[in-house]
Amino acid sequence: MKPDNTQRHVSVVVSTYERPNYLCLVLEALCRQTLLPAEVLIADDGSSDATGRALAEMAGNVPFKLVRIWQPDEGFRAARSRNNAIHRARHDAMAFLDQDTLPHRTWLECDMEHLGPGRICIGHILHMRESAAGDLDLESVKRGEFEEWHDPEENRRLGSLQRKVAAYGLLRRLGLGIRGRPAVGFGNVAAWRQDLLNVNGFDEEYVGWGQEDDDLGWRLYMAGVQPIAMVNKALVSHIPHTRSQPNENWRKGTNIERYRRKRLSFRCERGLGAHPHGDVRVSLLRETPVSTS
């Protein structure tokens, strides 16, 4: 399973909840990166034992440190769950995925070529064809077949979005930034850990689906962090599935009023400063020394 590649001091966070089959596919895709992470932290928002068993089976075959960080299931608490992982990360460079975003082979290498203090690399998702879902398994991911399972229109869409994100970034560097733009989605993002600490991480007042990542991106911009457009470069493919949350109605979500409030500071009140939480369980599933090659 281990590819012929190098390894750097990078922490990758994968958010998950009750989709162990998808999570294993993401780990397999991480195993084939041209630049391996030093550690992968599973930010688990209260999954059952099935996720733990699946991770235990995968752990013996991954070429990086693997840690599961679990919190009790008390509703959708992605902000708190990701903070659990950020708090325990051991490296300055961090990259983020969701349980349904499969990184292409050069994903991490592309982001790390541009990431540094005061920068956040903004990616997006490449939509897989719906018909591809039945062909996804560990072997097809290992071979990288999923990287081609999308319509040509997707490349054009990402190219257009790349130009849009780059334009927002240029305006921001000129001091003409537009509120909350470019948007940040933590299904494909790379950030500097100290920058996350400076703004106190995710705002844990966000409970329920939506806007916790937009809020963090906005506060990072307030703190002077500059966005780097990586939309059509650091690629991830989204696993097709029925959505558990109606993201088309995000403006009617439980967190929209909090997101729209006027921000007086780039630091949130309830964030990383409250960690560690006593109800969090940390399981070291694989300890692998960082390669210096």
Q: What is the pLDDT along the chain (293 residues), one digit of tens a residue?
A: 444 456 679 999 999 999 999 999 999 999 999 999 999 999 999 999 999 999 999 999 999 999 999 999 999 999 999 999 999 999 999 999 999 999 999 999 999 999 999 999 999 999 999 888 788 999 999 999 999 999 999 999 999 999 999 999 999 999 988 888 999 988 999 999 999 999 999 999 999 888 899 999 999 999 999 999 999 999 999 998 766 555 555 566 678 778 777 777 899 999 999 999 999 999 999 997 555 44
- Whether 78 is covered by a domain: the verdict is yes
What's the pTM?
0.91
Q: Can you read off the two tokens belonging to residue 132?
A: 């591809």
Judge whether 27 lies within some domain. yes
Instruction: Decide: residue 5, CB within 10 A, 0-12 exposed, 13-18 middle, 19+ buried.
Output: middle
Residue 87 is assigned to a structural domain of this protein: yes
> Is 12 inside a domain boundary?
yes
Q: What is the CATH number of the domain that holds 163?
A: 3.90.550.10
User: Does residue 184 sit within a domain?
Assistant: yes
Q: Could you say which DSSP state residue 17 is in?
A: S
Exposure string for 75-86, b = 16+ CB within 10 A, e = fewer: ebbbbbbbbbbb
Extract the tokens encoding 281.
Answer: 């369980």
CA distance 229 to 15: 22
Distance CA 90, CA 78 (A): 20
Number of domains comprising the chain: 1
By the 8 A CB rule, do 234 and 190 touch?
A: yes
| Domain coverage including residue 202 | 6-274
